[in-house]
């Protein structure tokens, strides 16, 4: 009975989403306060019903209700409760429900905190959020119902895809979706601004923290995915330029550009049209990401279920969203162009170049990801685009960004001073060169590692230099407002990330070897001794577990237990063993038994020595923290408090007075 209640809840949520989108739009057009006032309660009601549906599905998993097809397909009696809960978003239907739930969380937060926005504008923003919810709820109800029954009810379910049974994978999708969906806020702002023909600087200021938070979550989601792939896929890689990784990376790049563009628009009023366009692009790429993962059009390690109907629906939805918003943009964007002029040598220019590079990089990734689809549609053959395409172009595109990054903060808005830049260039340039020379002695002439050191010092020292300048020139308490601290953190994260990527790529030692029990193999100065493999069992799997003893100069460093797990349905899953460290990871994965009868117990093994690989995720986490810290800035909040004070007497703050309605 309860699954049907879930379905009912979704239908009610859809009706409320319709009310939330259509009525306030009419209200804003007709200046009808009663209709505009529908937005908030409708959003709250929608959130309640979506949460109810999500809870009912989770409950079905908890109580082993295998009469629900989705539950039977993705869990079984042996699956531990935490993976049963994670299984709610383990496959297509449930992950869509999670998408909608997260959209509702954002909408609810928006409804709560938008009290100080002009009524017309706020109701339009909420209405656009409602329209997105309508699109996804229709999609869920008509093509991907998670509550469909399975009759007769099986005694036991199938299984959650074993590669998803990992802590990294349970957190990855929700974080990623928080980011994807979070960009809908900036998108709704852009659409509402285009509809009204106005984009106040104050509104951009208000929108900024939302974008920063969304981008922070997206960063975390990507980092979690990368960390998971490293441990779980058993190849020791952290990024594969896989279509689905690309699907999350494109909105990340667009979001990165958006964060910087919003900063320019908020501070200087210029580039409004560009900021609006980026808001549309970032969210469109998020939708495209959903499309790529969920339609199964691309062959990928992630593309699980696929159903052409779903692909078609998302394609149409995507077409409507992108087409309509770009059309609106073309019609209305010129109306909102304003801003202060700026010189060639200015912070705006530096940030614009960065922006351009991020957008071009996103376009490059888009081309490489979609090219196989285009080629297929044009009957050019079945093509895949190899990693080297991305591996060559992406670093090339990012080089100007890395080179410019330390100077950005030192440049003044409008017009920069060459003298300051020269001083900075001299200092960070010499620091980078000195460190590169020192590093050259340690890395055996590996060019990539030397470049990595130089680039990391260039960026890191540049950030430190600017932090010191703030320390010296500003009085206590005004040195590092949250926005500034967030920028410094995120930029420093880039330096840490560079160390991780370039040093681990240059200095990693990866060997695939055949080992019989007792054999030892030397990798990166460490001796790995294989002590054989035994049977072991877990809650819902049994495994061959190898024992590898690692020693260095005769001293024991670690005993590692890589596993080759077999799950109930016969799926095999490699579980690598990682001995993590700040300066190096030791990584062992079992390959396969080498002789058919296993007389000698020989296995093929992957033995990896990966220096500084943790720094990749460390850098990512710093970038995420930077995004979150920025959002805490008092400047974004104080304005709100001031506005709240001003509106207590039912009198809108002068700065936020609604403009004449032109839509």
**Shortest distance (Å) from residue 55 CB to another protein:** 27
Q: Cα(74)–Cα(159) distance, rounded to whole angstroms?
A: 5
Q: Of the candidates 37, 138, 315, 393, which one interacts with another protein according to CB under 8 A?
A: 393
Parallel, antiparallel or unpaired: strands 520-523 and 509-515: unpaired
**Shortest distance (Å) from residue 60 CB to another protein:** 19
**299 part of the interface to another protein, by CB under 8 A:** yes
**Shortest distance (Å) from residue 533 CB to another protein:** 15
Q: Cα(366)–Cα(357) distance, rounded to whole angstroms?
A: 14
Q: Cα(361)–Cα(351) distance, rounded to whole angstroms?
A: 15
Give me 615's structure tokens: 């720094």
Residues 208-237 vs another protein: string with x where CB under 8 A? --------------------------x---
Q: Of the candidates 556, 571, 583, 598, which one interacts with another protein according to CB under 8 A?
A: 571
The sheet carrying 509-515 orders its strands as: 509-515, 603-611, 584-593, 577-579
**Shortest distance (Å) from residue 40 CB to another protein:** 42
The answer to whether 579 touches 558, Cβ cutoff 8 Å, is yes
Q: Of the candidates 152, 334, 388, 554, which one interacts with another protein according to CB under 8 A?
A: 388
Residues 585-614 vs another protein: string with x where CB under 8 A? ------xx-xx--------x-x--------
Q: Cα(206)–Cα(637) distance, rounded to whole angstroms?
A: 8
Closer by beta carbon to another protein, 152 or else 475: 152
Of 157, 55, 153, nearest to 98 by C-alpha is 55
**Shortest distance (Å) from residue 318 CB to another protein:** 20
Closer by beta carbon to another protein, 92 or else 205: 92
φ and ψ of 610, to 5 deg: -125, 95
**30 part of the interface to another protein, by CB under 8 A:** no
Q: Of the candidates 51, 78, 513, 653, which one interacts with another protein according to CB under 8 A?
A: 513
The answer to whether 336 touches 273, Cβ cutoff 8 Å, is yes
Q: What is the DSSP string of 325-374?
A: HHHHHHHHGGGG-------SSSHHHHHHHHHHHHHHHHHHHHHHHHHHHH
The answer to whether 38 touches 27, Cβ cutoff 8 Å, is yes
Closer by beta carbon to another protein, 204 or else 605: 605
**344 part of the interface to another protein, by CB under 8 A:** yes
**Shortest distance (Å) from residue 574 CB to another protein:** 6
Cis peptide before 152 (omega within 30 of 0): yes
Q: Cα(110)–Cα(211) distance, rounded to whole angstroms?
A: 12
**156 part of the interface to another protein, by CB under 8 A:** no
**Shortest distance (Å) from residue 218 CB to another protein:** 25
Please list every residue from 66 through 95 that binds another protein, using CB under 8 A: 73
**384 part of the interface to another protein, by CB under 8 A:** yes
**Shortest distance (Å) from residue 107 CB to another protein:** 34
**382 part of the interface to another protein, by CB under 8 A:** yes
Per CB under 8 A, which region of 50-58, 128-136, 296-304, 468-476 contacts another protein? 296-304
Residues ≥6 apart with Cβ < 8 Å to 386: none
Residue with tokens 């070897």: 513
Q: Of the candidates 172, 294, 564, 610, which one interacts with another protein according to CB under 8 A?
A: 564
Closer by beta carbon to another protein, 162 or else 619: 162
Q: Which alpha helices (H) appear in 166-307, and where do they start and end? A: 167-196, 201-232, 243-268, 272-295
Residue with tokens 């990166």: 524
The answer to whether 206 touches 122, Cβ cutoff 8 Å, is no
Q: Of the candidates 334, 381, 418, 649, which one interacts with another protein according to CB under 8 A?
A: 381
| Per-residue three-class SS string for 258-278 | HHHHHHHHHHHCCCHHHHHHH
Closer by beta carbon to another protein, 235 or else 480: 235
Q: Cα(616)–Cα(243) distance, rounded to whole angstroms?
A: 20
Q: Of the candidates 4, 156, 512, 522, which one interacts with another protein according to CB under 8 A?
A: 512
**Shortest distance (Å) from residue 435 CB to another protein:** 30
Q: Cα(627)–Cα(485) distance, rounded to whole angstroms?
A: 10
**360 part of the interface to another protein, by CB under 8 A:** yes
Per CB under 8 A, which region of 139-147, 293-301, 553-561, 630-638 contacts another protein? 293-301
Q: Of the candidates 30, 514, 634, 635, which one interacts with another protein according to CB under 8 A?
A: 514
**Shortest distance (Å) from residue 458 CB to another protein:** 22
Q: Cα(260)–Cα(404) distance, rounded to whole angstroms?
A: 14
Per CB under 8 A, which region of 87-95, 257-265, 300-308, 610-618 contacts another protein? 300-308
Q: Cα(650)–Cα(661) distance, rounded to whole angstroms?
A: 19
**301 part of the interface to another protein, by CB under 8 A:** yes
Number of residues that bind another protein (CB under 8 A): 46
Which stretches of the chain bind another protein, using CB under 8 A?
73, 158, 161, 234, 296, 299, 301, 304-306, 344, 360, 364, 367-368, 371, 375, 381-389, 392-393, 396-397, 512-514, 564, 569-574, 591-592, 594-595, 604, 606
């Amino acid at each position: 009975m309860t699954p049907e209640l879930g379905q009912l809840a979704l239908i009610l949520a859809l009706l409320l989403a319709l009310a939330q989108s259509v009525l306030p739009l009419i209200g804003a057009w007709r200046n009808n306060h009663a209709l505009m006032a529908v937005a908030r309660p409708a959003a709250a009601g929608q959130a309640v019903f979506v949460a109810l549906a999500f809870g009912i599905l989770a409950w079905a998993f908890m109580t082993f209700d295998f009469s629900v097809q989705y539950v039977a397909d993705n869990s079984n009696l042996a699956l531990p409760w935490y993976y049963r809960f994670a299984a709610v978003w383990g496959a297509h239907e449930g992950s869509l429900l999670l998408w909608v739930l997260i959209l509702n969380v954002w909408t609810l937060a928006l409804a709560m905190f938008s009290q100080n926005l002009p009524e017309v504008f706020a109701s339009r923003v909420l209405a656009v959020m409602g329209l997105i919810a309508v699109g996804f709820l229709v999609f869920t109800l008509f093509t991907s119902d998670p509550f469909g029954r399975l009759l007769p009810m099986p005694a036991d379910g199938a299984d959650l895809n074993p590669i998803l049974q990992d802590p990294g994978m349970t957190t990855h999708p929700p974080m990623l979706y928080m980011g994807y969906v979070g960009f809908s806020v900036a998108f709704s702002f852009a659409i509402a601004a285009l509809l009204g023909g106005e984009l106040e600087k104050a509104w951009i200021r208000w929108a900024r923290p939302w974008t920063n938070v969304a981008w922070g979550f997206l960063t975390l989601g990507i980092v979690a995915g990368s960390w998971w792939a490293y441990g779980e896929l058993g190849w020791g890689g952290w990024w594969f330029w896989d279509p689905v990784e690309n699907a999350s990376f494109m909105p990340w790049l667009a979001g990165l550009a958006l964060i910087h563009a919003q900063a320019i628009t908020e501070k200087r009023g210029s580039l409004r049209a560009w900021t609006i366009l980026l808001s549309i692009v970032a969210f469109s790429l998020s939708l495209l990401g959903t499309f790529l993962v969920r339609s199964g059009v691309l062959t990928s390690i992630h593309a699980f279920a696929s159903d052409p109907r779903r692909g078609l629906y998302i394609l149409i939805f995507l077409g409507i969203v992108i087409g309509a918003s770009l059309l609106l943009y073309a019609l209305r964007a010129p109306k909102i162009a304003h801003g202060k002029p700026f010189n060639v040598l200015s912070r705006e220019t530096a940030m614009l170049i960065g922006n351009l590079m991020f957008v071009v990089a996103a376009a490059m990734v888009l081309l490489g990801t979609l090219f196989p689809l285009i080629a297929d549609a044009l009957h050019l053959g079945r093509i895949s685009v190899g990693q080297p395409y991305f591996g060559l172009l992406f670093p090339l595109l990012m080089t100007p960004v890395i080179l410019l990054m330390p100077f950005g903060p030192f440049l003044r808005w409008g017009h920069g001073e060459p003298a300051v830049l020269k001083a900075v260039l001299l200092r960070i340039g010499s620091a980078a060169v000195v460190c590169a020379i020192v590093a050259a002695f340690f890395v055996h002439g590996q060019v990539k590692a030397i470049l990595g050191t130089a680039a990391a010092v260039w960026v890191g020292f540049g950030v430190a230099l600017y932090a010191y300048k703030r320390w010296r020139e500003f009085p206590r308490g005004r040195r590092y407002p949250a926005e500034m601290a967030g920028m410094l953190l995120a930029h420093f994260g880039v330096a840490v990330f560079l160390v991780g990527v370039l040093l681990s790529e240059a200095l990693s030692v990866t060997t695939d070897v055949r080992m019989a029990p007792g054999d030892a193999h030397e990798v990166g100065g460490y001796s790995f001794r294989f002590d054989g493999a035994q049977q072991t069992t877990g809650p819902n799997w049994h495994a061959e577990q190898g024992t590898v003893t690692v020693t260095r100069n005769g001293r024991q460093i670690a005993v590692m237990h890589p596993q080759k797990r077999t799950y109930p349905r016969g799926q095999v899953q490699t579980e690598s063993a990682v001995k993590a460290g700040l300066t190096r990871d030791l990584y062992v994965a079992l390959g396969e038994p080498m002789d058919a009868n296993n007389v000698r117990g020989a296995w093929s093994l992957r033995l990896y020595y990966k220096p500084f690989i943790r720094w990749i995720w460390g850098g990512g986490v710093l970038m995420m923290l930077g995004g979150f810290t920025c959002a805490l800035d008092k400047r974004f909040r104080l304005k709100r408090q001031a506005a709240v004070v001003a509106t207590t007497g039912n009198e809108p703050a002068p700065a936020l007075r609604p403009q004449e309605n032109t839509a």
